[in-house]
Amino acid sequence: MGLEGKKIAVLAADDYEDLELLYPLLRLKEEGAEVVVVGVTGGPDTCISKHGYPTEVDLSADKANAGEFDGVIVPGGWAPDRLRRDSNILAFVKKLSEGNKIVAAICHGGWVLASASIIKGRKTTSFSAIKDDMVNAGATWVDEEVVKDGKIITSRIPSDLPAFLKEIIATLKE
């Protein structure tokens, strides 16, 4: 069984890590999910990756209704630092978490989870450079390729993407 009928948001802002946005977007589409690229409120219609690849934004955060989604993925790169400055992004992520929906982040994407105040008391991982940010937000940080705590799923780096997506897909099928 695929992911037909599932709707997933992938957050985007300039300077996203190419693989961490494109791999989940394409892999989830391949499984039959509807994937919506959600950008910052008032942001560009096209976000440019760290290496110059464009991704079209389908919906801005102020128009995204968390009740219509089964989950959200926060890619890394420097984009999460832009994403966490948008109160609409943080509210969207927080509402999904409160609704027991999937909130997944890889690499620096953990910054968004920390700023949305959803990781206190949770086990997480991230890129090692933001370990202190995760711990200061109340998370228990571990160095593992993928960590699932409830519906919060986190990974560290691009080479973790196969395990990250395997966990996301399995959780969507629960």
User: CB within 8 A of 96, min separation 6: which ones?
Assistant: 66, 69, 71, 72, 102, 103
Handedness of CA 41, 50, 124, 25 (dihedral sign): positive
Long-range contacts of 117-124 (CB under 8 A, 24+ apart): 118/93, 118/94, 118/152, 119/152, 122/149, 122/150, 122/152, 123/147, 123/149, 124/149, 124/152, 124/154
Q: What is the predicted pLDDT for the residue at 1?
A: 62
Whether the CB-CB separation of 62 and 88 falls below 8 Å is answered with yes
Q: What is the pLDDT of residues 68-104, one digit of tens each?
A: 999 999 999 999 999 999 999 999 999 999 999 999 9
- Read off the pLDDT of residues 161-172 as tens digits, 9 standing for 90 and up: 999 999 999 999
Instruction: Judge contact between 17 and 75, C-beta under 8 A.
Output: yes
Residue ranges of domains in the chain: 7-172
Kindly list the catalytic residues: 107-108
Contact at 8 Å (CB) between 112 and 84? yes
Mean pLDDT of 108-112: 98
Mean of pLDDT over the chain: 97
Domain 7-172, CATH = 3.40.50.880
